[in-house]
Amino acid sequence: MLVVWRHPSVTVNDVHLALREETGWAYSTVKTMLSRLAAKGALEVAKSGKQSVFRPLVSRDSARREATSSLLDRVFEGAVGGLFQHLLGERRVSKKDREQILALLQKEENEQGKKK
């Protein structure tokens, strides 16, 4: 999907060339993956001569929201705190990231205070 989001009109060959060195995937693997993403409604597929051209139907932000929500529910039983504890225990958090997280938590706190 990252390749499709970067180049919103791609063929199987385009994606294969973009991913070949990084993943080592065969052309047929890429074709299968794109076909499955189209079947799930994430991609639109249209014919251009003999080639299939794929375009995103799902935005990157929408995909992130869905994936994050699914991960949170499946792995952390919906507990945001559990996810944060895991991330903070597994990865070094830069000063910039800490400042952004604190600002988001403060914003959430302020919004919750206004609702009371």
pLDDT tens, residue by residue, 13-44: 999 999 999 999 999 999 999 999 999 999 99
pLDDT tens, residue by residue, 40-81: 999 999 998 999 999 999 999 999 999 999 999 999 999 999
Percentage of the chain beyond pLDDT 70 is: 99
Going by C-alpha positions, the residue among 75, 73, 45, 41 that lies closest to residue 59 is 41
Amino acid 112: pLDDT: 83
Average pLDDT along the chain: 92
pTM as predicted: 0.70
